[in-house]
Amino acid sequence: MGDTALAAETLAAVPPENASPRLLGDLAILYLNLARYADAAGVFRRLLATDPDHGLLAQHGLTFCMIKSQNWRGALDVALETIKLDRFDLTTNFLAYAKDRLFSRVPDAERVESDLRERLIAELREHAELHGEDEAVGRREEGIPGV
């Protein structure tokens, strides 16, 4: 309905045991759009703890949140760890950007961070599409109403 903060507050109130990976992804997008990077990082950590199959996505999210918090060393550490999981090149972009910020000045940092954010959100949405159907099937099997 156009109130991103209220939507984030509503999704954040869902008990952890009922928070599906898709809900966590939606909540992360809301927090990223609100520039609430510490909250988004918490969601990515929950996603990683809830379902290790979502590790790559969670690691990308954590890396971006660390970049936005200007924690260049932390971003490098997470990106380096993520290389083990990555089948895409977003990790390489996070790694290169965090390295550049740690060791030099990046003249177009705002544009680069905006591009990284857009790629992360696209990955979150693609992930939701891939896993949304699996979730709906699981809920139907569990007898959850409305699905």
**Rounded to two decimals, what is the model's pTM?**
0.67
Mean pLDDT of 127-132: 82
What is the distance between the alpha carbons of residues 30 and 23, in angstroms, rounded to a whole number? 11
What is the distance between the alpha carbons of residues 58 and 41, in angstroms, rounded to a whole number? 9
If DSSP states are collapsed to H, E and C, what string results for the chain? CCCHHHHHHHHHCCCHHHCCHHHHHHHHHHHHHCCCHHHHHHHHHHHHHHCHHHHHHHHHHHHHHHHHCCCHHHHHHHHHHHCCCCCCCHHHHHHHHHHHHHHCCCCCHHHHHHHHHHHHHHHHHHHHHHHHHHHHHHHHHHCCCCC
Assigned domain for 100 exists = yes
Assigned domain for 143 exists = no
Assigned domain for 93 exists = yes
The pLDDT tens digits of the residues spanning 15-51 come to 888 888 889 999 999 999 999 999 999 999 999 888 7
Give the domain CATH number at 119: 1.25.40
Q: For residue 144, name the pLDDT band (cuts at 50, 70, 90).
A: very low
Domain ranges, residue 27: 4-137
The pLDDT tens digits of the residues spanning 45-96 come to 999 888 777 888 899 999 999 999 999 999 988 888 787 676 567 888 888 8
Mean pLDDT of 2-9: 89
* Number of domains, the chain: 1
